[in-house]
Amino acid sequence: MVEGAERMAGSLRNRLFGLRELVDELAFRAPARLAVTVFACVVVLFAILLMVPFATADGEGARLVDALFTAVSAVCVTGLVVQDTATYWSLYGQIVILAGIKVGGFGIMTVASLLGMIVSRKIGLTQKLLTASETKTSRLGDVGSLIRVIIITATTLELSIALLIFPRLVVIEENVGTAAWHALFYGISAFNNAGFVPTTEGLMPHVGDWALLLPIALGVFIGALGFPVILNIQRALPRPGQRWHNWTKRLSLHSKLTLVTSGALLVVGALLLLVLEWTNPATFGPLTLGQKLLAALFAGIMPRSGGFSTVDVGAMTESSWLIQDALMFVGGGSASTAGGIKVTTLAVMLLAIVAEARGDRDIEAFGRRIPRDVLRLSIAVVFTGASIVLVSCIALLEVTDLPLSQVLFEVLSAFATVGLSTGITFDLPDAGKYVLALLMFVGRTGAVTVVAVLALRDRRRIVRFPEERPIIG
Rg (CA), the chain: 23
CA distance 418 to 372: 30
Predicted local distance difference test score (pLDDT) of residue 116: 47
- Least confident piece of the model among 101-110, 136-145, 423-432: 136-145
CA distance 276 to 435: 31
Phi, psi of 352 (to 5 degrees): -65, -40
CA distance 115 to 456: 30
Residue 399: Cβ within 10 Å count = 15
Q: Which carries the bigger pLDDT value, residue 112 or residue 382?
A: 382
69-71-72 Cα angle (round to 5): 65
Which has the closest alpha carbon to 129: 232, 36, 233, 35? 35
Mean pLDDT of the chain: 83
Predicted local distance difference test score (pLDDT) of residue 227: 78
Instruction: With cut-offs at 50, 70 and 90, classify the pLDDT of residue 118.
Output: very low
Chain segment 158-168, per-residue pLDDT in tens: 999 999 999 99
pTM of the model: 0.86
- Least confident piece of the model among 214-218, 251-255, 281-285: 251-255
Type of residue found at 62: A
Mean pLDDT of 289-303: 95
Instruction: With cut-offs at 50, 70 and 90, classify the pLDDT of residue 25.
Output: low
CB 274 within 8 A of CB 292: yes
Chain segment 301-356, per-residue pLDDT in tens: 999 888 899 999 999 999 999 999 999 999 988 878 888 999 999 999 999 999 99
